[in-house]
Structure 1
Amino acid sequence: MGLLNATAADPRELIDKHGEALTDGETVYFVYKTVRDYIAFTNWRVLYINVQGLTGSKREYLTVPYRSITAFSIETAGTFDLDAELSIYLSGHDGIEFKVGRNTDVRGLQSFLAQRLDR
């Protein structure tokens, strides 16, 4: 997946719009949204929702189990840089890269991913 410019979103927004993609007992911890797409970090997986088409009725749901993540990197925003960047490297699939605003809790996301990958 290419580089997405995302902003932090409320997990309830994802649940309201795409709750059918979640399983019973799945908890959403972090959500980032582009214009129409979402990337969510749950207790079980990374869920990327790619909304397609003119009306947005066509959707692709990509599930990435944490065990498929081989590495990740987070680059924080600098003095003149407005965005932080996150790259997730996957075994057997293209990686996921996206940018988030400088006020995003990248430390919390980094800690969360480190805990998930440690299992």
Structure 2
Amino acid sequence: MGILNATAADPRELIDKHGEALTDGETIYFVYKTIRDYIAFTNWRVLYINVQGITGSKREFLTVPYRSITAFAVETAGTFDLDAEIKIFLSGHEPIEFKVGRNTDMRGLQSFLAQKMDR
């Protein structure tokens, strides 16, 4: 599963469009979006929202608890790269991969994921 060309987004945008996917007390720390899809890192999980169909009325919500992540990789953008890359590996599943803009706070996201996996 891969998401291409995601950019950092305002958590309020995800809440406005897909707030029903969040639980009481859940806080979004990082959120990225493509044209219609979102991937959010909350205090409890990684949430991937895949908007499907021409009208976008069909949506898939994938929840990945941090305890299910076996490893992750963060690749920063180089001098001539336009984007950075994040891979999240899950036991028994394909990795979740996505590319984000070169100005993304990769250090912050890497630190956040490391803290969540330490628990």
TM-score (norm. length: structure 1): 0.98
CA shift digits 1:26-60 (9 cap, x unpaired)? 00000000110000000000000000000000000
Q: Does the aligned pair in 1 maintain the 2:3–2:34 contact within 8 Å?
A: no
1:64 aligns with 2:64: yes
Aligned partner letter, 1:9? A
For 1:103 and 1:21, the matched residues in 2 are separated by: 28
Segments of 5+ residues of structure 2 without an aligned counterpart are none
1:47 aligns with 2:50: no
Identity across the alignment (%)? 87
Regions of 4+ moved over 2 Å:
none
For 1:50 and 1:3, the matched residues in 2 are separated by: 9
Number of aligned positions between the proteins: 119
For 2:100 and 2:26, the matched residues in 1 are separated by: 24
Partner of 2:79: 79
Segments of 5+ residues of structure 1 without an aligned counterpart are none
Partner of 1:111: 111
Aligned partner letter, 2:62? L
